[in-house]
Amino acid sequence: MAVAEPLQYLDPKGTPTPDAPSLAEEQLLRMYRAMVTTRRVDDQCMKLQRQGRIGFYGASTGEEATAIGSAAALREDDWVFPGLRQGGVMLYRGWSVEKWFHHLFGTEQAVEKGRSMPCHFSDRDVNQVSWSSCMATQLPHAVGMAYAARYKGDDAIAAAYLGDGATSEGDFHTAMNFAGVWDAPVVFLCNNNKWAISVPVEKQTASESLAIKAKAYGFEGKTVDGNDVLAVYDATKKAVERARDGEGPTLLEFDTYRIRGHSTSDDPTRYRDESEVEAAKRRDPLSRFRMYLIRESIATQRDLETIEEDVQGEVRAAVNAAEEGTPPPLESMVKDVYETVPWHLEEQIEELSTFKET
């Protein structure tokens, strides 16, 4: 059986098909700004890590359309269960760039006060749950949340993000099975960026696609051009509406590519050919969307340059603010855990404070 062509509305030159979804200009420009912000934040974070100013980072360069297109299709009260590269979802939903950098610098002003690993962004203000680093563990959590919401009569849905590598984990299959059995209002959003660190997708599965795996669990799967932000938006919007209307889960496979290494700890030149990367860059989602906005007279070249300049200034200001942040106080290690701190921990904190001062 032939594999279905991915859903696509914008070709690599930004030319839309006649059936491309029609979105308000304001929303399109908001999506563009969020994609630019995600790209510029990634660029800055890679530099900061190489300079030794932050410890670790996993960039989403080349995958911005998957995060922003899907985020634009969610409601504010929907819940996000991210993987490594979904920080852009939070940015689209209103999380500030300054909070982003406070998190990476581990300051007292960070939401988690420095007690969460880099890139484990979370904040209840935007309904995003922390990632755990153990691949696919967020997926059963998302199904459980979705099932609980329906049980309570809440029509919020769960957006469960994953990479192609997560489809090789047991928790993926557990989550898919429960989602199918329960008709849980969850949408699985899989970034097939072709590499699970150094393992190519063709060595992870013999299936014709990743989307087809949904069929075994009794629900729909669809492959989408993950570098086409309009296709990502439209496919996610329809899947979210089905879930909210009680029609069950969907698995969306976003066909994209990881331009950079898996993380700052990875050297991708050891396992992949640079020509492959160069070919992927010609499908860049940001330049494709930029050409579409100009072609459709939604914005001029100068309008988009102004957005990029504004974003660069925002990123610089956020880095400066985070670097001036204060470290979390030692007592927060226990006072944020216990309402009444046990005596032995009080003694340990006092001793640790004395040790630090000496």
Q: Which of the following is catalytic: 258, 260, 283, 290? A: 258
Taking the C-alpha atoms of residue 226 and residue 229, their distance in angstroms, rounded to an integer, is: 7
Taking the C-alpha atoms of residue 262 and residue 284, their distance in angstroms, rounded to an integer, is: 18
Burial (CB count <10 Å: 0-12, 13-18, 19+), residue 244: middle
Taking the C-alpha atoms of residue 46 and residue 315, their distance in angstroms, rounded to an integer, is: 13
Residue 120 annotated as catalytic? no
- Alpha carbons within 13 A on the beta-carbon side of 273: 3
Q: Which residues of 3-26 are buried (b: 16+ CB within 10 A; e: fewer)?
A: eeebbbbbebebebeeebeebeee
Taking the C-alpha atoms of residue 251 and residue 147, their distance in angstroms, rounded to an integer, is: 16
- Alpha carbons within 13 A on the beta-carbon side of 281: 7
Helix (H) or strand (E) holding 89: helix 87-92
- Three-point CA angle 139, 140, 146, nearest 5°: 90
Q: Which of the following is catalytic: 271, 295, 316, 338? A: 271
Residue 262 annotated as catalytic? yes
Q: Which of the following is catalytic: 262, 283, 288, 290? A: 262
284 CB-near residues (< 8 Å, 6+ apart): 62, 227
**CA-closest candidate to residue 163, choices 134, 130, 124:** 134
Token match 């880095």: residue? 319
Please, what sign has the CA dihedral across residues 85, 91, 95, 100? positive
Residue 173 annotated as catalytic? no
Provide the pairing of β-strand 195-196 with 199-200: antiparallel
Q: Name the CA radius of gyration of the chain, rounded.
A: 21
Which residues are marked as active site?
Answer: 258, 262, 271
